[in-house]
Amino acid sequence: MEIRLNCTDKGCHKCCIETEMQLSERDMKRIESLGYDRNDFSIEVDGIRVLRNVDGRCFFLKGGRCTIYENRPLGCRLYPVVYDVERKRAAVHDFCPSAEEVPVSKIKRVERTLIKHIKDIYGFIP
């Protein structure tokens, strides 16, 4: 399951700049199966693995494109839908220039997947 926007067609990769994308063990194993070492593409922050930034850009962003697009982390697939901790539900991240393109029905459709993903990362829902 994923959110499909035309961001790459527009040349947008704003979400890949200074990314703080959290990774599940499943994400890391999928990326490692491509031949990458988790210590190269991720760092640990407060006990959680996140994508590494190189010169302020996601490790996998090259020439404005994701080099592992078909195998990118689930959080990237679901973005700009994120978990709103204060409201305890899925919401669209207003940081994304294409946020208004995401219909409410799609937010609801991916919410269960997003919550399971957050549980996989933290072991609970914050």
Query: Does position 5 have pLDDT exceeding 80, yes or no?
Result: no
Q: Which pair of tokens denotes residue 28?
A: 């890391």
pLDDT digits (tens, 9 = 90+) for 24-48: 999 999 999 999 999 999 999 999 9
Q: Is the pLDDT of residue 63 over 70?
A: yes
Residue 6 lies in a domain: no
Tell me whether residue 50 is in a domain: yes
Assigned domain for 4 exists: no
Query: pTM score, two decimals?
Result: 0.91
Q: How many domains does the chain have?
A: 1
Q: Which domain holds residue 20?
A: 13-122
In the predicted structure, residue 118 carries a pLDDT above the cut 90? yes
Secondary structure, 3-state, the chain: CCCCCCHHHHCCCHHHECCCCECCHHHHHHHHCCCCCHHHHEEEECCEEEECEECCEECCEECCEECCHHHCCHHHHHCCEEEECCCCEEEECCCCCCHHHCCHHHHHHHHHHHHHHHHHHHCCCC
